[in-house]
Amino acid sequence: MEVPRQPIVEIKNLNKTYRRGSQVISVLNDITFDIEEGEFLALMGPSGSGKTTLLNLIAGIDKPDSGSVRVGEVEITSLSETELARWRASHVGFIFQFYNLIPVLTAFENVELPLLLTGLSRRERREHVETALYAVNLSDRMDHYPSQLSGGQQQRVAIARAVVADPTILVADEPTGDLDRVSAREILDLMERLVHELGKTIIMVTHDPRAAEKAHMVRNLDKGVLNNVLS
């Protein structure tokens, strides 16, 4: 008998609005769902539907007007800004559309950045970075600068940086949006391997149906409402 996996993310009655002058704009409306540990979830929907806002709330970048987000054992909506920053550094790996690599740092140094906030020794940091770069098949490019790498290779460096501290969750905002079709497929295959081989939990915002096909679960947002689930 298969033992059911426990939710790693629990979202309850989440609401978020923004002010534009005197106008109040509702972005998310009473969102409730769980994400299981080891799940690859795709969030889809038209522009302005609230996908990135929801991702930012799960990652602790933003706070809701009401409702709760629990990641692991931590109710992140109750944390202060300082506590959130410390929590994000240990528990969230970020993968962005435009890589966000620092041009004057090598691939090795870019991946090492999150570890500089930890108590790891230089030797321990090197071991972690080399392991992460090996996992994304870039061991032979660790001394290269971003300008010496293709777009797909830069995104793989960004993924290595995201996983190097062994975070609880990975959040990816349009991770293939700036890549050609071949590079996009390689990145999606890599993300799939992170889930199947390393047990990572990935929450990905995407407009691309081909990217969503890699996910275990697709949830659709429309005008701030979670209105269907596709698996």
Q: How many residues does the chain have?
A: 231
Question: Is residue 56 domain-resident?
Answer: yes
Q: Name the pLDDT band for 231 (thresholds 50, 70, 90).
A: low
Q: Is the pLDDT of residue 87 over 50?
A: yes
Confirm whether 157 is domain-assigned. no
Q: Tell me whether residue 161 is in a domain.
A: no
> How many separate domains does the chain show?
1
Q: What pLDDT, on the 0 to 100 scale, is given for residue 160? A: 93
Q: DSSP alpha helices (H): ranges in 144-230?
A: 151-163, 181-198, 209-212
Separation CA 112–CA 217 (nearest Å): 31
User: Is the residue at 12 inside a domain?
Assistant: yes
Residue range 118-146, pLDDT digits in tens:
778 899 999 999 999 998 889 999 999 99
Q: State the pLDDT at residue 3.
A: 52
Band of the pLDDT at 1, cuts 50, 70, 90?
Answer: very low
Output the six-digit token pair for 160.
């290595």
pLDDT tens digits for range 154-177 = 989 999 999 888 889 999 998 888
Helices (H), ranges, 92-150: 107-112, 122-135
Other C-beta atoms closer than 10 Å to the C-beta of 122 total: 9
- Give the domain extent around 20: 7-99+167-230
In a domain, 104, yes or no: no
Residue 215: which CATH number?
A: 3.40.50.300
Tell me which residue has tokens 């047990």.
199
